[in-house]
Amino acid sequence: MAVNLTQGAIVKMCFTSEELHPVLQFIDLKPVQSQQNSAIEIYQLFLSDGLHYEHGMLAKQKNELVHNGRLQKGSIVKLTQFIYKHVRTRKLLIVVDLEVIMDKCDLIGKPDPAPKEAPALSAASHAGNVQSAAGQLESTAEKAVMAVNLTQGAIMKMCFTSEEIQPVLQVIDLKLLQSQQNSTTKMYQLVLSDGSHYKQGTLSVQKNKLIHSGRLQKGSIVKLNEIICNDVNQNLKIIFFVELDVILDKWDLIGKPVPAPEEALAKSAAYVQLLNASLIGKPVTARKEATEPKFATKEDIEKQAEKIDQFIEISNKRHEDVLASQAHIRNTLAQILARLT
């Protein structure tokens, strides 16, 4: 069977944003031992288009292809999804999804290393010091490959407990909200999912730049570093996403999330029992019991109140600045009108 690799694909993958589904060959494939977690299997790969080769990492959900022998040194594959992560002065290829065309084939061509932007890493690659290069990239590669593991149960904990968490979640929707008080202020509503449940909230305006630059979008995988939950009334809770990191710019929808349950259900004794047993993360229906629900302690309430007070103080300060600016403009206009008359 004749095999035609997609010549020039490696250079295009490295240096252009062109959407490609190239046919390439695995010229090497080996496991890389994670120093942070020995139970995690990470495979380093080398892909060739017959002219150049590039090394990267295989997404862990494709490890089964290696285990069953379908993916090996010499395999011919078609890449259907891949991403690049910036690591220091170069980019790291992460192969997310692929189709195996041939399990094994003789080496095609005499490929050279793809040109690199960072001479230091290029020298390591040319010298064949693969393990050294993998060690330098291991930490970031592991984060990129493992980023698709969302923090199960995080939405319920964010909504109905005072536990401080920094969960990994997915943006499943994002839209612009027009501010009624200030038409020039852009406010964005995010809908975040942990794979099982989703909840909407408002993005802090200082993080709008992530949306404008295209880094934060529908499908993004993010890590929340700071949130503020504000209870407007008994049935309405507003969540502000104050600080977050974008782990992956874009990813397919993970799971089939459903809306987070209403507060009455979440505070029922049965649901609290499941939450404490760490069984949350799968959609369940809790039965109402006669026992009293579990409420936050006084210390938890005071801690949350302090955060809300800080948020309100910042908001009031901004409001005062706006009023001062408006007063200054009115005074200036009055002076101009007085001169004209």
What does the pLDDT look like over 106-144, one tens digit per residue? 999 999 888 765 333 344 444 444 444 444 444 444 444
Kindly state whether residue 82 falls inside one of the protein's structural domains: yes
Residues 90 and 30 in one domain: yes
Kindly state whether residue 85 falls inside one of the protein's structural domains: yes
Cβ–Cβ < 8 Å for 63, 150 = no
Report CA dihedral (67, 95, 130, 142) to the nearest 10 degrees. -90
Please state the φ and ψ torsions of residue 234, each to the nearest 5 degrees: -65, -30
Residues 100 and 158 in one domain: no
Residues 30 and 108 in one domain: yes
Q: Per-residue pLDDT for 272 more than 70?
A: no
Q: Which of 295, 318, 333 is the last residue of a domain?
A: 295
pLDDT bracket for residue 49 (50, 70, 90): very high
CATH code for position 176: 2.40.50.140
Instruction: Check residue 127 and report its DSSP letter.
Output: T
Residues 109 and 47 in one domain: yes
Residues 141 and 203 in one domain: no
CA-derived radius of gyration, the chain: 26
Q: Among 26-30, 71-75, 248-252, 290-294, which stretch is predicted with the lowest mean pLDDT?
A: 290-294
The whole-number average pLDDT for the span 219-232 is 82
Q: How far, in Å, CA of 325 to CA of 21, rounded?
A: 54
DSSP letter string over 225-253? EEEEEEEEETTEEEEEEEEEEEEES--PP
Helix (H), strand (E) at residue 322: helix 298-340
Q: Which pLDDT does position 144 carry in this prediction?
A: 44
Q: Which pLDDT does position 115 carry in this prediction?
A: 79
Q: Is 104 exposed, middle or buried (0-12, 13-18, 19+ CB in 10 A)?
A: middle
Q: Is the dihedral of CA 71, 73, 74, 76 positive or negative?
A: positive
| CA 109, chain centre distance (Å) | 38
Q: Which pLDDT does position 18 carry in this prediction?
A: 81
Q: Across the chain, what does the average pLDDT equal?
A: 74
Instruction: Identify the residue with better confidence: 128 or 322.
Output: 322
Residues 77 and 168 in one domain: no
Residues 44 and 135 in one domain: yes
Q: Which pLDDT does position 284 carry in this prediction?
A: 35
Q: Which pLDDT does position 120 carry in this prediction?
A: 39
pLDDT bracket for residue 27 (50, 70, 90): very high
The whole-number average pLDDT for the span 181-203 is 84
Kindly state whether residue 316 falls inside one of the protein's structural domains: no
Residues 242 and 267 in one domain: yes
Cβ–Cβ < 8 Å for 255, 169 = no
The whole-number average pLDDT for the span 16-20 is 82
Query: pTM of the full predicted structure?
Result: 0.41
Residues 281 and 176 in one domain: yes
Q: Among 78-92, 161-175, 216-230, which stretch is predicted with the lowest mean pLDDT?
A: 78-92
Q: Which pLDDT does position 238 carry in this prediction?
A: 74
The whole-number average pLDDT for the span 16-28 is 90
From residue 211, give the alpha-carbon distance in Å to each of 147, 174, 218, 237: 20, 9, 10, 24
Domain count for the chain = 2
Residues 265 and 161 in one domain: yes
The whole-number average pLDDT for the span 202-213 is 87
Domain span at 249: 154-295
What percent of the chain shows pLDDT beyond 90? 22
Kindly state whether residue 50 falls inside one of the protein's structural domains: yes
pLDDT digits (tens, 9 = 90+) for 307-316: 666 666 676 6
Cβ–Cβ < 8 Å for 73, 29 = yes
Q: Which pLDDT does position 53 carry in this prediction?
A: 92
Kindly state whether residue 323 falls inside one of the protein's structural domains: no
Q: Which pLDDT does position 147 carry in this prediction?
A: 42
